[in-house]
Amino acid sequence: MEPKRAIPSQENRRQRMFRAVSDDERLSLYCEALLADPRITLLQILDMQRPLEVARVYVPLRISEERQREYNTPVSDEESTETTIADDPNVWIEEERQRRERSVEVIYDPEKAIHTFPRCVIMGGPGAGKTTLLQHLAIMAAQRSMSGMPSLLPIYVELESFVRSGLHDLLDFVSTTWEGAYAFPARQARLLLANYLDEGKVLLLLDALEEAVVGETLEAAEHSYEAVSQAILTLAAGYPKASLVVTMRKASYRQHKPLVGFTALEVMNFRFEDVKHFVHNWYDAAYDLYAEEKSADLIKLLDTNPRLQTMAANPLLLTLIMLAYEDNLVLPERRAELYQICIETLLAKWDARREISRGWEFKTEQKHQLLKVIAWHFHRKRQRYFTEHDLLQVIAEFLPAISLPAERNNDILQEIESELGVLKEQAMGWYGFLHLTLQEYFAAEYINDHQKYEELLRHRADPWWEEVELLCIGITPDASLFLQQLCSQNSTLREDIFYTNVLLAGRCLTARPTVRGTGLQAQIIERLFELLMSTQYSLLRQEAIKVVCSIGVFETNSKLVTLLSDERLKVSMRWNIADALGTLGERSIAADLMPLLSDERLNAFVRWNIADALGTLGERSVAADLVQLLSDERLNAELRRGTADALGTLGERSVAADLVQLLADDQQEVDL
């Protein structure tokens, strides 16, 4: 049974704030109020019967830093391995390992990342857990329990709310917000915050910079982004000791001017052990009487379905998987279908519990159509949030088409908000979809219903539309025409130097679309392979490899594995392929990689990268084979170390005894 706790009422907290006589007392009351603020501490998605506590559901995310080579620098002749390997492969491997340690991602837990990089932008895709991460950090800081930083004062800011406020100074916005939400006098808050920032005692958490890119035109949106970016940089320059953490979608951040002085970090996908941890936490937090049984059943279902595992690596999609599983006990293998099931389930529940005795009828399908219209209208205007006035106007324009009077617009809005939670008031007079991805999904449905694919093509290089494009392609009955527009030689869309068209076509295939055009999918994959084989630019090649690997069909993975053993290719290209297979490939390819790892004819450094990929893939069934390989003293010393690293990453406990035996063997190399 869920424990009951006595929580002071908001009015009680306000009275205590008014009676406070010192800043320390006010700050203590502020932290107490923050820990009772449902916007920070609770998680509620779609039709969850009740919210769950973030602190109970949260699974520690992993943060990576990646330093990449310059975009326009091809792999030089000096980096080619043709002569060096022939001379001494061990020397080359050691040099390359040191270079990788300097140039590739390093993994941090969030607290360590912020301690290491007090000025950082944390990037991630839609639903990667960025907002929940900041909520977790705010809770930890308010509880004075952040590792290594126990005394930081947390300040959580939704940057879109900052834009809507009309203010230009972040401290003015925060102090005004504190007065309204926590009864902390604005003037005193402003002075206190300035002092705390100056002394480096503040953790400023700025959420969703991409949602500050708002405006009816691209120019207006860019101006909005520049204004918010400048406000952040101005505060950072004025208070050099302050810790500032900004979140933003990765695709959007790469399309805009970066924040000078901020380190770019990235939220990593859930590993399968993280997925299991989240599932257990979810049912425990819900105080479900059948938590163990449900957790075990869902984890077993995910464990036997590689495609579902790929989706479950995203926290939002994993949440939707769990909601769909609760109602259907059957899960789809396409992301768009998952959204569709969740929305249809939600609408069906709404239909079952609404009052049929009304004097007017607002049918479930009509409500669904309205949500599509709203999403389409405001997404075209590049608005994440919108005023109640503008929303009511859109509803009023829609109602006559279904034979309802426009004057009912307010009743309709109240009904949707009270019954669903998909669309809700986010602040006084401002509305928005529960998550930007829901707006993107409904907009994709509208495009599909009205065949507005030319809009997608027009925005094909715009990160604001990228998720809409992928969702739309995932639900359309036949994606052939759209893909032909991107890839056909007769298309009016000219390819640019970044190969936008072919890469987008490949990304569309990752959505598992229905493609009735004969040979079209194979043609796109062939062009992607041509690009990765021919380009001299390392980042473009890496992107092509990543897209091919994400497509995830047997033929593409097999071809990539084959390329690993092609000694005619540069080692750097095969390194990219191994990295992509480890990060994005399905665990089933581990069996194909193992023979390459033990193939002495293969380049030693490529084999070292394959070992690294096997560790990242997480397929523990190969652990015993890795131990056997590790015990082979004839194996290259660096490769054995790479194999040991892979075993450590896999964490398969059943081979621990064999590893201990190797460790006790005096004949083994000391460094190993």
Average pLDDT of span 248-267: 88
Mean pLDDT (the chain) is 83
pLDDT band at 34 (very low <50, low <70, confident <90, very high): very high
Region of 261 please: left (phi>0), alpha (psi -120 to 50) or beta: left
> From the CB of residue 316, how many other CB atoms can be counted at a distance below 10 Å?
19
> HEC string of 381-398?
CCCCEEEHHHHHHHHHHH
Amino acid at the residue 258 = P
Q: Look at residue 177 and tell me whether its pLDDT is greater than 90.
A: yes
What whole-number percentage of the chain has pLDDT above 70? 87
Transcribe 423-442 into DSSP letters: EEEEETTEEEESSHHHHHHH
pLDDT band at 262 (very low <50, low <70, confident <90, very high): very high
CB 125 within 8 A of CB 250: yes
Contact residues for 629 (Cβ-Cβ < 8 A; gap 6+): 597, 598, 635, 640, 643
Structure-model confidence comparison of residues 473 and 255, the more confident one: 473
Distances, alpha carbon 303 to alpha carbons 103, 620, 653, in Å? 33, 12, 18
pLDDT band at 303 (very low <50, low <70, confident <90, very high): confident
Transcribe 60-104 into DSSP letters: ---EEE-----TT-PPPGGG--HHHHHH-HHHHHHHHHHHHHHHS
Report the alpha-carbon angle 314-320-325, nearest 5.
120
560: three-class secondary structure by DSSP: helix
Q: Look at residue 227 and tell me whether its pLDDT is greater than 50.
A: yes
Contact residues for 465 (Cβ-Cβ < 8 A; gap 6+): 456, 459
> For residue range 438-449, what is the model confidence (pLDDT) as tens digits?
899 999 999 999
pLDDT value for 351: 56
- What is the spatial distance between Cα 185 and Cα 307, in angstroms, rounded to a whole number? 52
- What is the spatial distance between Cα 138 and Cα 134, in angstroms, rounded to a whole number? 6
Domains, the chain, ordered by start: 60-64+107-267 (3.40.50.300), 334-476 (no CATH), 477-536 (no CATH)
- What is the spatial distance between Cα 354 and Cα 639, in angstroms, rounded to a whole number? 64
pLDDT value for 671: 52
pLDDT band at 93 (very low <50, low <70, confident <90, very high): very low
Sort strands 263-267 and 119-124 into parallel, antiparallel or unpaired: parallel
pLDDT value for 281: 93
Q: How many residues does the chain have?
A: 672
Average pLDDT of span 601-621: 86
- What is the spatial distance between Cα 189 and Cα 171, in angstroms, rounded to a whole number? 9
Q: Is the pTM of this model over 0.75?
A: no
> For residue range 544-569, what is the model confidence (pLDDT) as tens digits?
999 998 887 777 888 899 999 888 88
Q: Look at residue 10 and tell me whether its pLDDT is greater than 80.
A: no
Average pLDDT of span 649-667: 77
Q: Which of 147, 402, 128 has the alpha carbon at shortest distance from 268?
A: 128
Q: Look at residue 96 and tell me whether its pLDDT is greater than 60.
A: no
pLDDT value for 358: 39
Distances, alpha carbon 102 to alpha carbons 66, 260, 382, 570, 571, in Å? 9, 21, 39, 21, 18
